[in-house]
A and B are shown apart, each in its own frame.
Chain A
């Protein structure tokens, strides 16, 4: 846009200056509102329980203490064990890394076929696949639980990896297909005439230009899988649970005195990986969100 805005006008009147100030004030107040929960989380996690009882939500910690963090990481009680959330954090890593990589690579190959090697019926196939982006997962929970039991992967990390790959494929395929459609078909045709085959074109021509979409897709999948709760709570138990399920169990444990500082420290730990991804690669994160949902 650029050439018009509320501030624009041939006469820079007092009203306009007032208007712009008002916009800044509103935006900054909203920003503070969005930031407050994060600050409260950090403050609370650094307080002692005494400090929490005597102070209030936004009071600064009187003394900064990392005890809650230590306890959240390796000694707070979740279920019957009291070893903190560290084990569950690593579970989430063990689930997220392979599931993201595998679903992304399959998605890339699928997207390549759907855009550059169309055959009779491939469009229909693509539409059939797309439904997977939309179904409420409640509808597949029961049969999936039964099937994981049948193949011996019930309540295992491998089972969760498999589930995340299967239900991530629709999205990863969509990402790559929409990206590869923008690459000129002439490039592929020329390579075919030069004698390059299916895989050669994929590895030598398509992959080298796909880095941006790989980043978008990996970030999207990482966020989805790391933050998943539904699959985690249904398909895992005890020691194989991901960190989101452990966090929820920790917070809702009813035995003993509620340790809000430990809850908050654990929540930050559970949020750190995706938050870090967002801060490092925010631009790609946004692109994934809009591509994944507007087009999906």
Chain B
């Protein structure tokens, strides 16, 4: 562009319009991002430092909402549940997804069909998933009855209504929904590995399990990394699944931060507390994505 002087190839009007139009096209998106993302975050941050109840108030009152939040038993239950759900969900999805991908990568004849089956839950809404699993885990008509009909008359399964176990039902449904997706990520990673390294290892006489544990799985490190990022992102945001499956109950025993925020901000009219809890969630997401983005950008620069 620097070489061409305006008017050589085209008239000056179109030269100007070509410099202006790109910015005009981006303008609406730019304005909406500044308004609806950045200034909204600032607004929420501001409200989290006020004593807003049913209606927003703008006098700053310091950390009062955060102090109340961290003294709130329900918030700690929600945070602990997120920790339980998040760690189990991420670990199980990653291990199962990786195993399925490795198995599927063994020249399996029906690979296409199997992939379709493993992945279809990703097309469903978490509300649908929650509804189905709520029925499957139903204490009187679900799995319990099935097992009893099969002859295990003393079989009991009441996790859905048991306050100590309800959060684990969310893990069961979440794993069912997301494992296929992790498998797809790992399968793409496996297919992208350079064959020649593996061939060289085979010529050197390395056994297959050794090739997998020493060469293939270590070279999937970037996939592990993005998988864990994506899954933790899903976990922190998880709201629908909990609402549909347990409703946060019994009581608030299976609450997570997202349902806590919704309930305080929209049903209990505690705006300040809701805003403070969403700020904490935002902080948690930032803590996860900043290293992720950093490494993404660095790897892009390197290659």
Q: Which residues of A contact B265 (CB under 8 A)?
A: 141-142
Q: Is A37 an interface residue (CB 8 A)?
A: yes
Q: Which residues of A contact B38 (CB under 8 A)?
A: 128, 131
Check if A139 sits within 8 Å of B239, measured CB to CB.
no
B 117-172 contacts with A by CB, 8 A: 117-136, 138, 141-143, 145-146, 149
**Closest beta carbon of chain B to A93's beta carbon, Å:** 15
Check if B127 sits within 8 Å of A229, measured CB to CB.
yes
Total residues of chain B contacting the partner, CB 8 A: 107
Check if B132 sits within 8 Å of A3, measured CB to CB.
no
Looking at A31, A58, A134, A275, the one whose CB has the most chain B CB atoms below 10 A away is: A134
Q: Given A1-B191, A3-B195, A142-B44, do A286 and B107 touch, yes or no (CB 8 Å)?
A: no
Closest A residue, CB atoms, query B290:
A134
Q: Is A203 an interface residue (CB 8 A)?
A: no
Q: Is B21 an interface residue (CB 8 A)?
A: yes
B 179-206 contacts with A by CB, 8 A: 180-181, 184-185, 188, 190-191, 193, 195, 198-199, 202
Q: Is B70 an interface residue (CB 8 A)?
A: no
Stretch at the interface among B58-66, B83-91, B279-287: B279-287
Q: Given A1-B195, A229-B126, do A144 and B180 touch, yes or no (CB 8 Å)?
A: no
**Closest beta carbon of chain A to B204's beta carbon, Å:** 13
Q: Which residues of A contact B193 (CB under 8 A)?
A: 1
| A23 CA / B271 CA spacing, docked (Å) | 53
Check if B262 sits within 8 Å of A138, measured CB to CB.
yes
**Closest beta carbon of chain A to B13's beta carbon, Å:** 10
| A27 CA / B184 CA spacing, docked (Å) | 14
Q: Which residues of A contact B44 (CB under 8 A)?
A: 139-140, 142-143
Check if B146 sits within 8 Å of A37, measured CB to CB.
no
**Closest beta carbon of chain A to B213's beta carbon, Å:** 13
**Closest beta carbon of chain A to B74's beta carbon, Å:** 16
Check if A117 sits within 8 Å of B274, measured CB to CB.
no
**Closest beta carbon of chain A to B33's beta carbon, Å:** 5
| A277 CA / B124 CA spacing, docked (Å) | 11
Q: Is B98 an interface residue (CB 8 A)?
A: no
**Closest beta carbon of chain A to B260's beta carbon, Å:** 9
Q: Which residues of A contact B122 (CB under 8 A)?
A: 278, 285, 289
Closest A residue, CB atoms, query B108:
A27
Q: Is A77 an interface residue (CB 8 A)?
A: no
Q: Given A6-B106, A23-B108, A229-B127, do A193 and B9 touch, yes or no (CB 8 Å)?
A: yes
Check if A7 sits within 8 Å of B107, measured CB to CB.
yes
Q: Which residues of A contact B123 (CB under 8 A)?
A: 223, 271, 274-275, 277-278, 285
Check if A136 sits within 8 Å of B285, measured CB to CB.
yes
Check if B278 sits within 8 Å of A139, measured CB to CB.
yes
| A41 CA / B103 CA spacing, docked (Å) | 28
Check if A199 sits within 8 Å of B21, measured CB to CB.
yes
Check if B127 sits within 8 Å of A247, measured CB to CB.
yes
Q: Given A274-B125, A290-B188, do A264 and B135 touch, yes or no (CB 8 Å)?
A: yes
Check if B281 sits within 8 Å of A138, measured CB to CB.
yes
Q: Is B247 an interface residue (CB 8 A)?
A: yes
Q: Is B303 an interface residue (CB 8 A)?
A: no
CB-contact partner of B243 in A23, A229, A293, under 8 A:
A229
Q: Is A52 an interface residue (CB 8 A)?
A: yes
Check if B25 sits within 8 Å of A226, measured CB to CB.
no
| A169 CA / B285 CA spacing, docked (Å) | 20
Closest B residue, CB atoms, query A118:
B22
Chain A, interface residues (CB within 8 Å), range: 35 or more
Q: Is B224 an interface residue (CB 8 A)?
A: no
CB-contact partner of B141 in A1, A35, A228, A260, under 8 A:
A260
Contact with A along B267-282 (1 / 0, CB 8 A): 0000100110111011
**Closest beta carbon of chain B to A91's beta carbon, Å:** 14
**Closest beta carbon of chain A to B111's beta carbon, Å:** 9
Check if A286 sits within 8 Å of B184, measured CB to CB.
yes
Contact with A along B13-27 (1 / 0, CB 8 A): 010011101110110
**Closest beta carbon of chain A to B235's beta carbon, Å:** 11
Check if B29 sits within 8 Å of A110, measured CB to CB.
yes
Q: Which residues of A contact B217 (CB under 8 A)?
A: none
Check if B274 sits within 8 Å of A198, measured CB to CB.
no
Check if B146 sits within 8 Å of A35, measured CB to CB.
no
Q: Is A184 an interface residue (CB 8 A)?
A: no
Looking at A27, A40, A125, A137, the one whose CB has the most chain B CB atoms below 10 A away is: A27
Check if A129 sits within 8 Å of B132, measured CB to CB.
no
**Closest beta carbon of chain A to B38's beta carbon, Å:** 8
A 122-180 contacts with B by CB, 8 A: 122, 125, 128-132, 134-146, 166-167, 169-170, 173
Q: Which residues of B contact A117 (CB under 8 A)?
A: 18, 21-22
Q: Which residues of B contact A8 (CB under 8 A)?
A: 208
Q: Is A210 an interface residue (CB 8 A)?
A: no
Q: Which residues of A contact B289 (CB under 8 A)?
A: 134
Q: Is A109 an interface residue (CB 8 A)?
A: yes
CB-contact partner of A267 in B132, B143, B230, B275, under 8 A:
B132
Q: Assuming A138-B282, A139-B281, A267-B132, what are 13 further A-B pairs, CB within 8 angstroms? A: A4-B208, A33-B176, A34-B120, A57-B136, A58-B146, A113-B26, A140-B36, A141-B266, A141-B278, A144-B40, A192-B18, A252-B247, A289-B184
Task: List 5 A-B residue pairs with CB atoms under 8 Å apart, sorted by A's residue number.
Answer: A106-B29, A267-B132, A278-B119, A278-B120, A290-B188
Nearest 10 interchain pairs by C-beta:
A227-B125, A278-B123, A117-B22, A138-B278, A229-B240, A198-B21, A143-B40, A143-B43, A140-B40, A113-B22
